[in-house]
Amino acid sequence: MTSREWAIELVERQLLAAEAARSWPAMVVIGVERHALGWLISCQSPEYARTGLSRDALAGHGPFLVDALDGSLHMVHAQFCDGDREWEDQYRQKVRGDLPPRELDARVRQLTDLGRRGDAFRAVRRAPGGLSPADALRFVDAIASGSAPPADLVYRLPQPDTRYPAISTYSGPNPEPADWWPVRQASRPPGA
């Protein structure tokens, strides 16, 4: 589990590197929120952090997400932060590889569980991809047995959209060093 302090450290390092490369204006951390996927860290201009006035705010960027499992660093783009959680699904798919089942797989599983193999077969035959009767039967048999459908058949079916515009990844796994926390505490001034 990535600690709050390590998550902030990773974001601050990214902000400093981006500022040094002049790819972003100066920003500071202004908020940290625990999230099911990790830590959401909001950043803003130093002026906004001091004044709280909207005229001093930077626009167009969303929060960073530091993954709870591996410390990888990502940004959630601002246009996806309007209350819906589409970005969470995109994150789970892009970063964690949690792909939802294809609708056809789910439908075939549902029909075969109800004992309606003929309807499942017809659903596969009607699906885009033009599977032959023999291939449709192989597909249904695989799903009914609890296996994944054969790869040669899946390849011929329409593929899910794998664009993930809500998430940008800045760094891969950043495991928290075992000795990092004591060093951080020792470097803080008394009372901090």
DSSP labels, 79-145: GG-SS--HHHHHHHHHTT--PPPPHHHHHHHHHHHTT-HHHHHHHHHHSTT---HHHHHHHHHHHHT
Q: Is the pTM of this model over 0.75?
A: no
Closest CA to 169 of 89, 42, 76, 85: 76
* Residue 93, SS3 per DSSP: helix
Mean pLDDT, residues 122-148: 93
* Residue 65, SS3 per DSSP: strand
Mean pLDDT, residues 139-143: 95
pLDDT of residue 82: 73
pLDDT of residue 53: 95
Q: pLDDT tens-digit profile of 157-190? A: 877 767 788 899 999 999 988 876 645 555 555 5
Q: pLDDT tens-digit profile of 68-114? A: 999 999 999 988 877 767 899 889 888 887 766 688 898 999 999 99
More confident residue, 131 or 192: 131
% of the chain beyond a pLDDT of 70: 90
Radius of gyration of the chain measured on its C-alpha atoms? 24
Sign of CA dihedral 152, 155, 158, 161: positive
Q: Which residues pair with 35 in a beta bridge?
A: 38
Token representation of residue 92: 């789970």
pLDDT of residue 192: 45
